[in-house]
Every structure is written in C-alpha cells, then in structure tokens.
Amino acid sequence: MVTTRPCTATCVIEGMPVTLTFYPDNGVLRIADPSGSCIRETRWHGSWRSLLDEFRDFTQRTESAEQPQDVNAMTTRHHDFADHAQRPMALA
C-alpha cells in the first residue's frame, strides 16, 4: 500500500487559526482548530496549489467585505466548489 504524505498549512479565518491537511492521493481535506480537533472533513478535487489559492482569495474577499465570514462559510464554499469540480463540463 502506498502512503502519501499529507500537505499541511495553517491560516487564520475570522481571527481563528485553522490547520488544513490535504491528502492528495484520496482528496480528503481536514480543517482543524488550534487544539487539533477536526472542524470539518470534506473532499477537494483539485490540486494543493489550487486549494491554497482558493483560501488566499477567500481571505482577501473577507478582508474587503463588511462582515467577516467564519470557518463554516469557508468550508461550505469549498464543499460547493468540490461538488462543482467533479461534475463533467459540456463542450461548447
């Protein structure tokens, strides 16, 4: 059995540090609070780089928005994006 190393990063969402752990071999994305407790587990059907870019964009949008968004809003957005990413696209 092949075991890949997870990709890990820490970022701050609404003042709370969270740890992202992404397993590229199966697409599992875990978001944990500072104590290591899992806040959310979902699937990401893109690359590690695209995940980091998406979190960076979210942070920039949140900073420019009037009301900050929380971790649940972020993970829901990623869940919606992951669902969209796995749907086949029609060719024009």
Q: What are the average pLDDT values for consecutive 10-residue runs of the chain, which has 92 residues?
A: 82 86 93 93 92 83 62 59 45 36
* Total domains, the chain: 1
For residue 50, what is the enclosing H or E element?
Answer: helix 48-64
The answer to whether position 1 is within a domain reads no
In this prediction, residue 36 carries a pLDDT of: 93
pLDDT of residue 88: 43
User: Residue 88: left (phi > 0), alpha (psi -120 to 50), or beta?
Assistant: beta
Structural domain contains residue 24: yes
Tell whether 38 is covered by a domain.
Answer: yes
Element (H, E) at 19: strand 16-23
Asked if residue 90 belongs to a domain, the reply is no
What's the domain range around 41?
A: 7-82
pTM across the whole model: 0.66
What's the confidence (pLDDT) of residue 4? Answer: 77
Do residues 16 and 7 lie in contact, with contact meaning Cβ atoms separated by under 8 Å? no
Residue 20 lies inside a defined structural domain of this protein: yes
Looking up tokens 């701050």 gives 12
